[in-house]
Amino acid sequence: MKKFFVKKKFLLLVGFALLAVLPFAIFHEPMPLGKNDTINPFPEPTDPAAAYIQKASENYFYHEFDQGAENYQKAIALYEERGNRVLVAKTYESLGDLYVWGHDSEAAEKSYLLAVKTHADNRDVLGEANALKEIGDLNMKRDQLQKAEGWYLKSLKVLEEEKPNRVLGSVHEGMGHMYWQAEKIPEAIESFTQAQAIYAALYYHMGYDHMAHVLKRLGNISRAKLK
């Protein structure tokens, strides 16, 4: 019995030793360190605008929303100088997302509206529709469901001549959640069904399966109300 415990103790010591050594055995070369001595796996881009975007993304991750907004604005100014209106529009959307997470709904909506206008100037229909949808999502989060519906309908209006696409599917999906939140179950079922049909046409299996799951839940709710 005594030999058993000695052997067990020996194995435990070997295990702890391996745990201490393995990290150094796996990483033969030291990870690159940033200026603040933290792990920095991504080198800073040489392009100043891209560098501002990267800094803004880091600010976003660390919830440094004011600094993130400032860096996005600096990137936008550089893209404006270059005449790159496509990246101006996309960066306004990212700025809107940052304000959403920073709980500044008014600033978020203004940023999304600037994205809408820039996408429209660029004749980017999908970009314009997606930015309009973002405003709908924003109002839904604020429980302003009637306003949300209005923005979703504006997005659908922009897309009315387009072939099935992921943005169109996501707008119908957003409307489905909005109607569900408003306890308008038949309207929610209709919106989710349209989203599912679009995802089916696009062979977007994950979206199709998700809609099937949601529709099953709503079907159960609808049948329960009829009892």
The 10s digit of each residue's pLDDT in 147-181 is 999 999 999 999 999 999 999 999 999 999 999 99
Q: Which residues contact 71 (CB under 8 A, 6 or more apart)?
A: 52, 53, 55, 56, 59
Q: Which residues contact 161 (CB under 8 A, 6 or more apart)?
A: none
Mean of the pLDDT values across residues 216-222? 91
Q: Whole-angstrom Cα distance, residue 184 to residue 220?
A: 14
Average pLDDT taken over every residue of the chain: 87
Local confidence band at 43 (pLDDT 50, 70, 90 cut-offs): confident
- Joined tokens for residue 167: 């943005």
Mean of the pLDDT values across residues 186-199? 98
Task: State the CATH class of domain 46-123.
Answer: mainly alpha
**CATH 1.25.40.10 domain position(s) in the chain:** 46-123, 125-217
- Residue 15 predicted with pLDDT over 70: no
Mean of the pLDDT values across residues 117-141? 98
- pLDDT on residue 227: 67
Torsion of CA 59, 65, 68, 70, to 10 degrees: -150
Cα–Cα–Cα angle for 86, 90, 95, rounded to 5 degrees: 145
Local confidence band at 29 (pLDDT 50, 70, 90 cut-offs): very low
Local confidence band at 3 (pLDDT 50, 70, 90 cut-offs): very low
**Is 125-217 assigned to CATH 3.40.50.2300?**
no
Mean of the pLDDT values across residues 79-107? 97
Share of the chain above pLDDT 90, in %: 76
- pLDDT on residue 27: 39
HSE on the CB side for 168, CA within 13 Å? 21
